[in-house]
Every structure is written in C-alpha cells, then in structure tokens.
Amino acid sequence: MRKTTKYTPALLLFTILTGTLVSCTKLVEVDEPINSITAEKMFRTEAQAEGALAGVYNSLIHGPRTAAGSSPANAILNGFAGGLSTLAGGLSAGELIMSSGNRDAYALATNTLTLTNNSMTNTIWTSAYNAIYHANAVIEGIAGAQNSTMRDSVKVQYTAEAKFLRAFSYFHLVNFFGEVPVTLTVDFSKTVNIPRSPVPVVYAQILRDLLDAERDLPATYAAGKNLRVRVNKWGAKAMLAKVYLYMGDNGQAAAKASEVIAESGLFQLMPLNDIFLSGSREAILQFKQTNQDATLRNAVSEGHYFIPVGDPYKAPAGVWVSDQLLAAFEEGDQRKEVWLDSTLQTTNGLNVKVWYPVKYKHSRNMSVLNAPSPELYMVLRLADMYLIRAEARANGADGGYTKAIDDLNAVRSRTSLQNLSAALNETEVKEAVIHEREIEMFAEWGNRWMDLRRTGRASAVLSAMPLKQPWEGDYQLLYPVPAAEIEANRNLGQNNGYIR
C-alpha cells in the first residue's frame, strides 16, 4: 500500500477531513482526493469501486479518521452515524443525561449551547460532510472513469447506494442545523464559498437522491451477503417514507411505508429482545461495525458506551435516561423491562438508582475481538414504518385515524399492553402516535428531538423540564454552525441566537 496522504483537520467546510476512501483491502483509506486522474485509478474495476463504496459505509459507522488515526471505540463521539445522533439528540430532547460531567454534554442536556461548548454538534456537522464528500467521490468517480471494466448495472447500483448515503447525511444535517450548504461535487473550487441553502431546497435534493436510489437499487440483500448492511430498494422506500412525513406529505409517507410493510417475505415485527440482532427481520438497514478494534471488539458503539463496565448493577453507566422518559412508560410496558436496566450512580455523595438504555446488550463486558457481531447498528426498522403510517393516517392519509389505531396496535402487540380502543377519537389517536413514537424510538438516532422540532411541540415540552431551566430560548432548537466553518467561509452565516 502506498503512503496515505495525511490532511490537517479541516477548518474549511468541504476540505477533506480524512484520507478519502480506500487503497487497500482494509477499505478505509485512499491516497488522494478524487479527480480525473485518481478516478481512473480507483474506479477501473468493480472491486475498486466496491472498495470505495465500502469506505463510505465505514466513514459513517466509525466516523472520520483524523490524521493521527482514531479508534472506532470512540465512534459514538466521532460521527453522526456512529451513535452521536442518538447521544446528542437524546440529550437535547430530555431523554438522556450523560454521567461523565462533560461540559458539552451538559450544554446539550440543558439546552445552553454556545460557540465554545459545542464539540458534539461540530462533529455532527463535520462527520456528515465527510460522508457526503465520500459519496460525491464515488458518484463522480464512477461517472468519470475511463476504460473501466465495470458492468453498467454495477455502475448504476453503486451510484444509487452513494446517492442514498448522501441523502441520509443531508437529512440529519437539515434536522440538526436547518439551512445547510448543498454540495454535489468534490471540486473544492465550487464548494469553498458556497452559502447555505433554504430547508426546502435541501429536502428537494434529498428527494432527488432517494428517488434515484429507489429506482436503481436492487430489491434483495445480496450485496451484503444477506446481511442487511447495504442499502437496497426497501431502504430507499423506508427513508422516503420518513422524509415525506417530515415534509408534511402524509399521503406519500403512508404510501411508501405501506410498500415496505407489505413486503412480509422480508420484514416482520420481532420480539423486543431480537430486534437489534444481526439478521433481524425487523431491520430494513443496519450498519456493520468493525470487530477488529482492540477496545470496541465486536460491540455496537452504543452498547459499548452506555452499559456499565464491570458489575452492571453497581458500576457507573455512560448515560442514564431522564425522569421524564421513565414516567412516560405505561404500567406493564415490556419495553421498559427489556430496553432499560438500572445501576447505582454516585451523585453528590449518594448512591442513586438510575436507568440506562440497553437496546444493544452486547457490552464491553462480553465483547470479543475478531468474533462475529451478534448485534448490528440499526438504521431503519419496520416498527418506524408502522408509526410513520399511523401518524400520516392520523393526519389525513388514506385509512384515516381509525386505521392508524391498527398500526399503533401492531407495534404495541409486543409490549404486553392492551390494544388501543377502536373508539378513540382523532385527537386521542394523534396523542397516541406521539406517545408510541416517544417510547418505541427512544435513544435511536435523535428521533425524539426531531419529532419535537418538526411537530412544533419542542418549546412547550422542553421548556417545562427542570434540567432546562431557565429556558434559554427557542433558537436552541437548531444547533450552531461550527464557528471555524464560518471563519473559513463567510457566506455560511450563523443560526439566529448564537453570538459570535
């Protein structure tokens, strides 16, 4: 392997944050940015193109590698798609409390972000744009490669996968930051001074990429050797359902969710203990973490980070869930029993019982180096499709709020709770949707944070939480654009409320 080019960590928005994609069998690095010369080198064969695409997935689950290298064990703090969206969004939404005394985590938990205590939000921005750069490199590299032996069908599929991953990254950017720059090229001269785009423009690009992916991706999981770790047509449909819901297009959201739900030969709701396992039939898309890091071994980063090391009932947890979330569970809901565990946390000299998430149960206490991973990182799953369709139906999509009750009961069927009554009125169904999303999707990808924001309930709900008193202002509902990025590109501008 040739010596990999090392890049200084970027202050510019689209400067390469890491060695770009791959140049060896480890599929994690390349020597130089994509251009007309390196595209010829990297995309001559199908194996090279697949390696480059593998690098995009790798950068998502493990975060960007710095010039000095970084351990995948830190992925939860390294990248938006390695657990940071869950952690930051959970802190912001009042789901999670971080036990380490981390200043920036405290700022998220109390909604007191400034331009000097936002390292986590900065990392969401930089890691998402790192993934976008990688995806753009694949798209442009495949399109520009000459004398390639790649079959046309492979070019189409790999380009579609890269477009999905680009759209996926932009979806999280727009929901954490609002207006963001949209770049579809690795040409630095075209991106160095690009301004932020309005939210509808960002969503329009997300839709274009996802619709292309839906059209061009295969319907099977053969690319991932039957693990659900490479996006296919159903992943594109599932993401479209989510995007349409966020855009307020309830008809399209319900329709896309229905297409996935109807594919019962591939997908089914699983028992609570089995949902996050490798091979889960509830999974629409999972990311596969490394099993070769000496610290992480074969654990998902959230299991590694959240669950106490040593005695799970006495050792400190990485995070614990808030009193507000605990109080939201109905009596007898098995999700509380299966997806939460407790330990004693020393607080102000006292041992206090706290609860922490265990959706992923494979912790540092049981992880094994180089062993197959029993759990994979869930990205899209079937229960969310039922909840998306329920919300869309409650807000006017075909089937109406009466059919929405059926969707909610399908999700509740695994919880030991009674079915919701068919006599619920429209307002009660809408409230039930909010409740089921809060419980089913807690500590997953910042869903609660995004739900509060997009439904206009964030200010009322969050400003009433004791930890967030006094309420600093609704401007905190968007994260600040990293100050260093604005310093490098004055056309970006800052979100309102953040004083330079």
Do 189 and 324 fall within a single domain? no
Q: What residues contact residue 384 under an 8 Å CB cut-off, 6+ apart?
A: 238, 242, 440, 441, 447
> Is 277 a member of any domain?
no
Domain hosting 308: range is 302-356
Cα 399 to Cα 169, 395, 406: the distances in Å are: 32, 10, 10
Last residue of a domain, which of 160, 176, 204? 204
Residue 257: inside a domain? no
92 within 8 A of 475, measured Cβ to Cβ: no
Measure the CA dihedral 97/103/109/111, to 10°.
180
Please check whether residues 172 and 315 belong to one and the same domain: no
306 and 195 co-located in one domain: no
* pLDDT at residue 113, rounded to an integer: 93
pLDDT at 30: 31
DSSP strand pairing (283-287 vs 319-321): unpaired
Same domain, 51 and 186: yes
Distance of alpha carbon 125 from alpha carbon 115, whole angstroms: 14
pLDDT at 346 (0 to 100): 73
Give the chain's domain count: 2
| 46 and 157 share one domain | yes
Containing H/E element for 382? Answer: helix 382-394
CA dist., res. 262 & res. 256, Å (int): 10
The angle formed by the CA atoms of residues 256, 258 and 262, to the nearest 5 degrees, is 125
3-state secondary structure of 135: helix
The answer to whether the bond into 470 is cis (omega within 30° of 0) is yes
Which of 204, 239, 273 terminates a domain? The answer is 204
What pLDDT does 486 receive?
93
Amino acid occupying residue 446: G
- Can you count the helices (H) and strands (E) in the chain? 20, 6
Q: Which segments of the chain have a pLDDT < 70?
A: 1-41, 65-75, 99-100, 347-348, 500
- 403-412: pLDDT as tens digits: 999 999 999 9
Enter the pTM of the model. 0.91
Same domain for 71 and 189, yes or no, is yes
Residue 43 lies in a domain: yes
- Name the domain boundary from 356, 391, 421: 356
State the pLDDT at residue 15.
34
Same domain, 169 and 318: no
Q: What is the reported pLDDT for 348?
A: 66
pLDDT digits over 64-122, tens only? 864 344 555 566 888 999 999 999 999 999 999 986 678 899 999 999 999 999 999 99
User: Which among 129, 235, 176 is positioned nearest to 458, based on CA atoms?
Assistant: 176
Contacts of 44 (CB under 8 A, 6+ apart): 145, 147, 148, 149, 150
H or E segment to which residue 347 belongs:
strand 340-347
Query: Residue 169: inside a domain, yes or no?
Result: yes
Residues 196 and 309 in one domain: no
Q: 199 and 87 share a domain? A: yes
DSSP code at position 84: I
Residue 368 inside a domain? The answer is no
User: Given this model, what pLDDT does residue 72 score?
Assistant: 58
In this structure, how many other beta carbons lie within 10 angstroms of the beta carbon of residue 88?
28
Residue 396 forms part of a structural domain:
no
